[in-house]
Structure 1
Amino acid sequence: MSPSSTRRPWRVAVAAALTVAVGGALGLVTAVTASAATVDPSAWYVLVSRKSDKVLEVRDASTAAGAVLQQGTRTEATAQQFRFLASGDGRYRLQNRQSGKVVEVAGASTADGAAVRQATDTDAAHQQVRLLAQSAYVRLAVEHSDKVLQVAGASKAAGAAITQGTDAKSYHQQWRLVQVGTGTAPTTAPTATPRPTASATPTASATPRPTTAPTSTPTAAPGTSPAWPSATGQQKVSATITISGTRDLGLVRHYGISSGDQGESQPPMFQLADGAVLKNVILGEGAGDGIHCLGTCTLENVWWEDVGEDAATFKGTSASQTMTVVGGGARGASDKVFQHNGPGTFVIRNFQVSDFGKLYRSCGNCSKQYARTVRVEDVRVTAPGKSLVGINSNLGDRATLTGVTIVGDASRKIVICEEYKGVTSGEPSKTGSGPSAACGYSTASVTYR
């Protein structure tokens, strides 16, 4: 577990547009940008599950009130098309094109697992949803229950029911919004490339051998440079992999040590011994608590496609230890990318980050605290994001930032450096932000594009 500087908020504000990528060669749909602020109430959308690549639909294309929702193979039928009717204050009802009815939680239940169905529109709270940003996807939070729409059992099967559940930011609770355009509907649905099955269960002492390399597409994210790499293969991981010495993993995607949510107390995908170097690896879905560094370590050209609990945590006990992250990138971190729990110096160089909460946080409430140092050098940041660096100036923390480029933040909402009063129990309190003796940077250190 990587201690948090503050309690993780349940609800993430939708601060910017979500980039929507359309999978498959469909002539009928076009990629659009959607957010809680900009979704077009007059447009029709197909909602694609991030977990299964199947779509939200009314079972049996029914027009009757009470017909339940499920996921199905994508055909672009009107039973699979929905539009967002505005209820005000960022709330919407999902109206089905086939029936004209809206989506609701059966019986206005607040329980996990409650069925989701269609009904006559009354604009009731159990028929209203808010759009919560998650990387290039949204979670649909029901107004009356604060739960989100999900695929029951995280199933990938056609016909799996849609229910509501506690928001864990899991892949089966995330939806891609694809606006319906014009053209001829496909006769067959696009087929998602399945993940290969691991040939062996990894042990804690050895890196598992990758499966046969799949045909993979680039994982490019808009506004980032250089382009995100394509995986040369992929490997499911079931236990933390320990690394000592230097390990080059050849850009094989490692995934699946966790369910893909961002809850606390998850195991790390990799644990690096003092002096270890980890190079050329992609952490995919279900990365858990990312990478734990137990002393001096180096992460070179490491990529986090969707950050889980945290991307990496710096532990250890020596004041002389240094953790260096050089190259690579991370996206989809609703809270922290890098967490600094032990003493020493954390260096982040030639890195890119997008759609994130905090790039770096010195632990605000660890039971044992230290004076910590962080250096951020030549980093490219793409909005949305909350802050780059958070330090505990009362404990002697110091930050230096140079060569920062921020893309897509015209209103300059991303805070460059925040200072806190660190504690050993309870919650830290924010004491200030901006350049200071502790937050070492100038306006010349930051470029906006």
Structure 2
Amino acid sequence: MNEKRVLLAEDELVSATYLKDCLSALGYKVTLANDGKQALEYYLENPFPVIITDYEMPGLNGAELIQELKSEEIEPVIFMLTSHIEPKLIVNVMKLGIYDYLVKPLEEQELSIKLKRAFEYYEMKRIETITKRERQLRLEGHLEWIQWKEKMVGVGEFNRLNQNLFESLKNSFCQGAGFGALVTLLKLVSDAKVKEGDHYKIESDLMELIQINTEMAEKALKMFADIDLIVSSPMQFEEISCENFYEQLGMWLKEIKPLLDLKAQQILISDPKPNHSKYKISYNVFTMQNAFKEIIINACKFSEANSKITIVTNVEHDWFKCVVYNQPVVNADGTYGVPMQYENLIFEPFYRLSKNVFDEYGTLDFGLGLSYVDSCFKKHEGKLSVHNVVDHSELSEKPVTKVAFQFSLPAYKI
């Protein structure tokens, strides 16, 4: 998450204005709260990586605000703002569990150094939290698979009336649970077979499952072959200006226009920036086209009907950056978009957040599309990131949660 957002809780107008101006000059996006209660409301509405709070404020003071913030799942990096330098007070402030303290009047250089380190620390803690959650999800998923497999092996004869079992198997194949489930299916076939002369008779439902799995496996193997080709084979690259690459993206978008009509969606793309003509990238046309289309089709599949998908491009710090924003449908667990613990997992083979199958889009829906995208950008020495953002620009009473999918490619001056 590259947002340089700071929440400032300060009730003294002069001090608040000065500090906000200093932070803005350093490149930070500052939200000012007049007291602790307002600061907490702002934070709960859209969590901030870094918070600077005064110690003495009306209503909810600095210490009380910190206690509320410490109960959050991912704690922000907190600075305490104080005009006192007594050792005893400083010790008491640090015992609250804050990251550091700032003594008025502030020096801009000191502020710059401390804020830079604070954001680095926040990102480190955030990655650590994601890693722990991923580990837990993997263990839970593995345990569920073992329990399900043991249950299926002990089923015995296939019972046509056991619709739960049938639906479980059908959904398992359609949702990309993995080729390991094939072993369970074959065991069921073995248990349910009836010998008639030189032939075996099996349930038609089981035969349909085998046919479904065969088709899915063929598509999956084709995708595996494409990914392997990217990873293990030399790739031919050609240079193109960022200006022309921007136009290329527009052409690819036109090719998938029929898919937008399925849910009456629109795509809005930002205007090309003046510096697009001053930089170039190296890319493989075929794999990049497939990867870009996969990103956009994913945005279409998992977006609300009649919604807009926004694409913003820019060249900065020697990178061509493209961010795709979409308004996601609600997940099965009531969450929206890509929860933090899944930001890396979704790029792994067979991992899917949604359990739906989108036949109308003609996609595999086996959890391999983003693995292809990931392999493509690694070959291009590019970068990928995906996370939820809160959009306050929509004309609605409440801010809207959107998914931001960003890819970056190395850019070189022409």
The higher radius of gyration belongs to 2
In which range does the TM-score fall when normalised by the shorter chain?
under 0.3
Greater share of strand: 1
TM-score by length of 2: 0.22
TM-score by length of 1: 0.21
Higher relative contact order (CA 8 A, sep 6+): 2
Greater share of helix: 2
